[in-house]
Structure 1
Amino acid sequence: MRVDRCFFCSGPIQPGHGVMFVRNDCKQFKYCSKKCHTSFKKKRNPRKVKWTKSHRKGRGKELAIDPCFEFERRRDIPVKYSRELWQETVKAMMAVEEIKNKRQTQYAVNRFEKSRELRLIIDKAEIKKGVHLLELKERKQKKPVVQVLEDVDIEDLVELEEN
């Protein structure tokens, strides 16, 4: 029992699910859903369709290069059946899957931290651009503008973002 990959979106296809299209040259295309099948028939490029794995990997949204992906390659070398070998293989597959999931979550955390830091810098720049609006407000309250600019700091932006 093999879990195949969708030709269009690279999603998993469980046995008994999906659609298979066989071209005149006997090349087989397997699709997980009608959405993928019709997108292929409409000659859409999977790298330009935002919900596909190839688009996400191309844009840096998912982990693309990792030694764990080497284990997922298909190997067509016949091996004589051995119960111990299969038990070891299943254990190794679970270990590789666990390692891969940890690395992907760490990649996502690192990516979000970088975007958060960039967002804080952009927010601070926006505040500096809108100083004249603060001046108008502070004239009404009789508070100096210099003090307002000193009060605004990255830590304040972090607290606002967390709330």
Structure 2
Amino acid sequence: MRVDNCFFCGRPAWPSKGITFMRNDGKSFRFCRSKCHKNFKMKRNPRKLKWTKAYRKNAGKEMTVDSTLQFAARRNVPVRYDRELFAKTLKAMERISEIKARRERIFYKKRMAGKRAREVAAARKLVADNEHLLPRLRGSEKRRLAELAGERGVDVEELEREELAAKASGKKSKAFGGEVKRLRVRTDGGVEEITESFGGVVGEDDDEDDGFEDEDDEMDTD
């Protein structure tokens, strides 16, 4: 079974699959799929398309100099059939595939070494250059976060980061919520206006009975 490489992208074109194009001068071009055939007819350069083998080799993303690549070279030399030679060839093909896969993994690790550090450095540079666009906390918000951090026993900087992230995403933060004004009716008939946060009454304990009743509670005065 003869497996040719695609003339455009370099992928293997299996028998009975793909497209074969015969030019007027008798030269044949093998394509693995219609996508490669159409790009070939549009006279596109495969070295400029990122999904082709030619581009990846020029960009240094594929191995170009390796002893295992020489075995894939085409050899149109007729050899008399020998059963032992055929069996040895199959074993050698499996062993060469294993060696090639291992070398490709090593090549990939060396190529990607230091990528994380470069990404972090680029992100820090971007933040430093556009620091004036970052959201800022008001003084009242910083004091509220400091009090909340003292109650929870957590770091203030962590709460500030959560608050800034919530502001940037447009969501409400759990650390610092909005405030709601409510009317409470006292048991003696008086009405008092109080301010509550999303976590409860500011400066009061919800579990304690302070003699107030919420206006939202149902009251039967009859």
TM interval, short-chain normalised: 0.7 to 0.9
**What letter is aligned with 1:36?**
C
Which has more strand, going by share of residues? 2
1:40 is the counterpart of 2:22: no
Q: What residue is the counterpart of 2:111 in the other structure?
A: 111
Gapped regions of structure 2 (runs ≥ 5): 147-156, 158-222
- How far apart are residue 138 of structure 1 and its match? 9.4
Q: Deviations over 1:85-139 (max 9, x none)?
A: 11111111111111111111222222222322221222333344456678x5597
SS at match of 2:103: helix
Give the alignment's TM-score, normalised by structure 1. Answer: 0.76
Distance 1:37 1:130 in 2: 46
Give the alignment's TM-score, normalised by structure 2. Answer: 0.57
Q: What residue is the counterpart of 2:26 in the other structure?
A: 26
Distance 2:20 2:85 in 1: 32
Distance 2:77 2:28 in 1: 21
**Structural mapping, 1:8-157, within 5 Å:** 8-129=8-129, 137=137, 141=142
How many residues are treated as equivalent by the alignment? 144
- How far apart are residue 3 of structure 1 and its match? 1.1
Q: What residue is the counterpart of 1:7 in the other structure?
A: 7
SS at match of 1:47: helix
Cα gap change, 1:121 to 1:15, in 2 (>3 Å)? same
Q: Deviations over 1:47-79 (max 9, x none)?
A: 111211111121122222222111100111211
RMSD of the alignment, in Å?
2.4
Higher mean alpha-carbon deviation, 4-13 vs 100-109, is at: 100-109
Q: State the percentage of identical aligned residues.
A: 43
User: Structure with the greater relative contact order (CA < 8 A, sep ≥ 6): 1 or 2?
Assistant: 1
SS at match of 1:74: coil
Cα gap change, 1:91 to 1:138, in 2 (>3 Å)? farther
- How far apart are residue 46 of structure 1 and its match? 0.6
Larger radius of gyration: 2
